[in-house]
Amino acid sequence: MARALLWILTGATASPDPRLLSMEEMEVDLGSRLVESELTYGQMRGSFGTPPWLGETGGNITLGRTGRKLGAAKGARLWPGAIVPYQFAETIDFKEWQTMQSVFSNISSVTNIQFVPRKAVDTDYLLITEDMETYGCGCCSIGLGYLKGSGAHVLVLGPVSEGGCGVNHIGGTHELLHILGLAHTQNRPDRCNYIDVRTDLLTGWGEWRVGQITGAADWFQLRVPYDCSSYVHYYQLQGAFWKKGVEKQVDDYMGKQGCESGQRGKFVNSCLVEGGHTQGNRVVKEGYELCVDRWSKKHKSCVDAVIRRFPTFKPIDPNGKCKANGINKEKRESWEISQYDTWALNAAYGGPLPPCQRPGKVGDGRCDRGNNNLGCGYDGGDCCLPGAKDRDCIDPCGVRLKFYGGSNSEL
Ligand SMILES: [Zn+2]
């Protein structure tokens, strides 16, 4: 380090050390970079903007472009042939293009869904854009699933500097699952079996008609297990609209913890100065990365603390899957979609589902774990019989029988 510095000071004609950043470069980078916990924070406080169909009055039934009505957008619609022609808006740069290509391939690698560049004949297609002005939201998909004749199916990932979430794999994957037809998991009709929504704290989830249960590809109809770790299950706090008094408590608490996003610049700057990571008016890049990393940890632990204090729901979790898998992808790499999300896409699009490992044992009255999956009809119901282990009952239809003394005969 000392040698490199000396070299910079003495070698006037030498090329710049890549580890040194100007203050200006730092500002730009800081302004366009979000850590994962900040994405969560943005989503939970609704600062990425609401979908254009939300409307203050709730009476606005037409979207911000022609030909797409709310009523029609709600229905279950899947992309024909499991093929999604895509197009990027011109403002999407190469790095952002690469990010979305990896989101595509993360989904394609576990399903039969293909993303192909749009051709002239593809009048219905996926459009990825940063245009918040036209579409009225900063991190959203316009509508749910495929709608024939509607032209561009828009996925908006607005610039961070304008309050969007940026073209990143977290927002990108979540919104893309909506485009493919998956509605939010916490809207499932059977959610009360798994999560206890804190209606005493909330006025709503800040979501379009949260009470109206699953419109598009229906998890329950597809017989996919309830999955707290789903990419489209809200975090606790995400999109929360608290009751007035609670809202103030949350703001005060976050302020006290020093983790409002507005405090990031201040935090990083003092970390740089106190850590001796500056040289004159330049920043040593390693120190900068370290300070941004430190902010990311601080921010995450603060968000976690808020979640513990003001959760929008508590897991009831009869089979322990919420605790075992975490809420919203906690136990996976951030780019991975969950096993049950994969089942849902494959059940909807006719992709591959796991087979029975012991076909002869289906429906024999004993739970065989190798058969306990959607492709094998959950071992013919064996894993939700009263004598089966609680954790084995993942079949959404069987949960009623196993935990709530119901019967499956009306199915
Ligand atoms: Zn969503």
**Distance (Å) from CA 137 to ligand 1 centroid:** 12
Alpha carbons 264 and 262: distance in angstroms, whole number:
6
Quote the pLDDT of residue 19: 82
pLDDT lower than 70: segments of the chain: 1-16, 50-76, 205-217, 407-411
Cβ neighbour number for residue 91 with a 10 Å cutoff: 11
| Displacement of CA 118 from its chain's centroid (Å) | 25
Specify whether the CB–CB gap between 42 and 165 falls below 8 A: yes
CA 407 to chain CA centroid, nearest Å: 34
CB-CB neighbours of 211 under 10 Å: 8
Q: From ligand 1's centre to the CA of 22, what distance in Å?
A: 37
Domain ranges within the chain, ordered by starting residue? 2-31+243-309, 39-187+215-240, 354-411
pLDDT at 57 (0 to 100): 39
pLDDT value at residue 67: 36
Q: Mind spelling out the 3-state secondary structure of 164-189?
A: CCCCCHHHHHHHHHHHCCECCHHHCC
pLDDT digits (tens, 9 = 90+) for 191-240: 888 998 888 888 776 654 444 455 556 777 889 999 999 999 988 877 77
DSSP at 52: T
* Ligand 1 centroid, distance to 116 Cα (angstroms): 23
pLDDT tens-place string over residues 123-175:
999 999 999 888 888 888 887 888 888 899 999 999 988 889 999 999 999 99
The CA 7 to ligand 1 mean position distance, Å, reads 51
**What integer pLDDT is reported at residue 13 of this predicted model?**
47
The structure tokens 């040194």 sit at 20
Answer for the pair 24, 283: CB distance below 8 angstroms, yes or no.
Answer: no
Q: Which two tokens stand for residue 209?
A: 């008609």
State whether residue 347 is helix, strand or coil: helix
CA distance 186 to 194: 9
pLDDT attached to residue 408: 56
Q: State the Cα–Cα distance between residues 166 and 139, nearest whole angstrom.
A: 8
Contact in structure between 225 and 321 (CB atoms under 8 Å): yes
> Which residues have a Cβ under 8 Å from the Cβ of 75 and sit 6 or more positions away?
145, 147, 215, 216
In the reported structure, the alpha carbon of residue 258 is separated from the centroid of ligand 1 by a whole-number distance in angstroms of 27
Q: What is the pLDDT of residue 337?
A: 95
- Measured in Å, residue 120 CA sits from the centre of ligand 1 at 30
- CA dist., res. 53 & res. 63, Å (int): 6
Backbone angles phi, psi at 283, to 5 degrees: -110, 135
Q: For residues 368 and 19, what is the distance between their CA atoms, to the nearest angstrom?
A: 56
Superfamily name with CATH number, domain 39-187+215-240: Collagenase (Catalytic Domain) (3.40.390.10)
Identify the pLDDT of residue 59. 38
Distances (CA, A) of 344 to 117, 195, 348, 406: 24, 20, 6, 25
The residues, any chain, with a CB within 8 Å of residue 125's CB and separated by 6 or more, are 84, 85, 86, 87, 118, 151, 152, 153
Cα gap 239→10, rounded to integer Å: 54
Residue 61's pLDDT is what? 38
Ligand 1 mean position, distance from CA 142 (Å): 10
pLDDT of residue 1: 36
Among candidates 186, 225, 230, which has minimal Cα distance to 206? 186
Q: How far is the CA of 155 from the centre of ligand 1 (A)?
A: 11
Q: Which of 174, 246, 141, 165 is nearest to 204 (CA)?
A: 246
Separation between Cα atoms, residue 364 and residue 381, nearest integer Å:
9
CA of 372 from ligand 1 middle (Å) equals 29
Measured from the Cβ of residue 38, the count of other Cβ atoms closer than 10 Å reads 21
Report whether 338 contacts 231 (CB < 8 A). Answer: yes
Distance 205 CA to ligand 1 centre (A): 11
- CA distances 75 to 43, 184, 211, Å, are 25, 14, 16
